Structure 1
């Protein structure tokens, strides 16, 4: 990850950022720049001296200038209102600025994909939503609670807090070199977590989308009219992908149930699709007369052998076989 200057190749490129107390946003911004071919082996100067910063090839989080052409990426200046776009309206920090301009390049290079590949776009947006946006918001002092409701508990285990804790305590004497060393540790921390999350989304989250798309196509014959039940022959995290595909018009919003294997239990599940991705309300819950029943009693009432349970709210149920779970789904559609 080239966090240690002694281990990096010599480079004529220089990244500039401010010295003194550091934050998560510029720690991540520096790491991200070092994932690009241009700045992979760049040296780092931490200073607020404008004369020194003017000698740097790129400057982040200091200097009161945002100008891509000049490679200046600060967000503290009066009148700065840059956002990521694409439905996001959180004001950017230096992390978001660097990610907005260099993120696709980093992702494409890491997975050896063409920059115009749709997967690059999906991962770029996913990583902003799940990783970078919170760093932008915290650094800019944007409350997670729009109405300033007092939270019921405090959390200081987020990435921004952990970076903050790497700064020397106020009452411990230190010097600039020691703080610079701690900054490199912070940059490595943010970058390690960024790449771990990115790798997960690329190798686990994104393949689930492809499986879901294929499963939707393969499930058309299950009902008349088609497009009511999705059969998955292996469990995948399907919910977020389904709502995204629906929102873009790539699939209809007619699906009611998803049937999939519970591989740990060796049985099958039927789950009602919620009305929204974070909602507890189902588009069509399993029949009221099944809810809260189990085993033989549920099989008797439903008329389907091998039943295991139906949750009291009707959002999920189980059967010992795929055929039994599909029967539950088909009957539930007509009730």
Structure 2
């Protein structure tokens, strides 16, 4: 049954009901958000979905609170916030409505839950407390800075601030979903390129894209460098050994570090070589042939040939 109302609590808002509202308003755009703590509103009913308020969790009755004793937890015991519960029950529908291909929905749903939803759930439940100077830059903290000041006497201030924050929260969810879906599209392209490369050491791609996850998944341990076109030139980049840190399978030649244009051409012997980062993890060339020539030289040095 399509709801007429999306009911959450009034007063100060937090990331979990904001992000829940992002999902629900996409699925039910005709429904009105009602922010209230009145018993007649926060009770379940056929005309509404209630979340982050109400005192219990019952998906069949469409009420999704997590503040009560015996609140729901994941299979591994980690707590849900209202966002996690809404994502669990409505996330797949949201992805379909966002034009994520059906074959990718399960993977994107799980990935977004692990990387985006779970941290919000943990912070909301006090199970994750970021420390240090970056703590205030976590998304839940940033969204809460959009609350009205304590001495704002405008009776509509909370509602106005909530809807302003909702628009910002929506942009982060949509961007996160788009990035997850894009990685899966990239994986298909990279897998095809790996097959075409065979046992070669240099992977050529048709454009810049995330490539390491597909390389790891394919077990293509022989690959050392990636070449692809950019806007007006070509890029040569290394492949990191792991998700953590910056150690590469092979670095670009030390003699190229920090050089550009004529100096790099002289050091490499390749006409069209235009740039090498001082960190030796990325270089550029004016043409495809120059980029591939740089890559082959880098392979030869890395292999000691």
TM class by shorter-chain length?
0.7 to 0.9
RMSD between superposed Cα atoms in Å: 3.4
Partner of 2:99: 111
Q: Which residue of 2 aligns with 1:332?
A: 298
CA shift in 2, pair 1:214/1:194, >3 Å: same
Q: Deviations over 1:165-195 (max 9, x none)?
A: 44343223354x6534543443344235433
- Structure 1 residue 161 displacement after superposition: 4.0
Deviation at 1:273, TM superposition (A): 0.6
Equivalences, count: 298
SS class of match (1:195): helix
* SS of residue matched to 2:26: coil
Closer, same or farther in 2 for the Cα pair 1:279/1:111, shift >3 Å?
A: same
Query: Which residue of 124, 144, 147 corresponds with 1:139?
Result: 124
- Runs of 4 or more consecutive aligned structure 1 residues displaced over 6 Å after TM superposition: none
**Mapping of 1:1-335 within 5 angstroms?**
13-36=4-27, 39-50=28-39, 52-56=41-45, 57-80=48-71, 82-83=73-74, 91-111=79-99, 113=101, 117-128=102-113, 131-143=116-128, 145=130, 148=131, 151-152=132-133, 155=136, 159-173=139-153, 175=155, 179-195=158-174, 197-199=176-178, 202=181, 206-220=184-198, 226-234=199-207, 236-239=208-211, 242-243=212-213, 245-247=214-216, 249-263=217-231, 266-296=232-262, 298-333=264-299, 334-335=303-304
Tell me whether 130-139 or 313-322 shows the greater mean CA deviation: 130-139
SS class of match (1:269): strand
8 Å Cα contact 2:44/2:61 also seen in 1: no
Distance 1:103 1:59 in 2: 16
Q: In structure 2, the residue corresponding to 1:69 is in which secondary structure?
A: coil
How far does residue 110 in structure 1 lie from its aligned partner after superposition? 2.8
Structure 2 CA distance for partners of 1:321 and 1:134, relative to 1, 3 Å: same
**Residue 72 (structure 1) shift:** 2.5
Give the TM-score of the pair, scaled to structure 1: 0.72
Task: Tell me the CA shift for residue 125 of structure 1.
Answer: 4.0
Q: Are the aligned partners of 1:257 and 1:270 in contact in 2 as well (CA < 8 Å)?
A: yes
Unaligned runs of 5+ in 2: none
The CA deviation string for residues 268-306 of structure 1, in whole angstroms up to 9 with x for no partner, is 232111112342211111233444455455445544443
| Alpha-carbon spacing, 1:200–1:270, altered in 2? closer, same or farther (3 Å) | closer
TM-score by length of 2: 0.78
Deviates more, 1:324-333 or 1:286-295: 286-295
How far apart are residue 133 of structure 1 and its match? 4.1
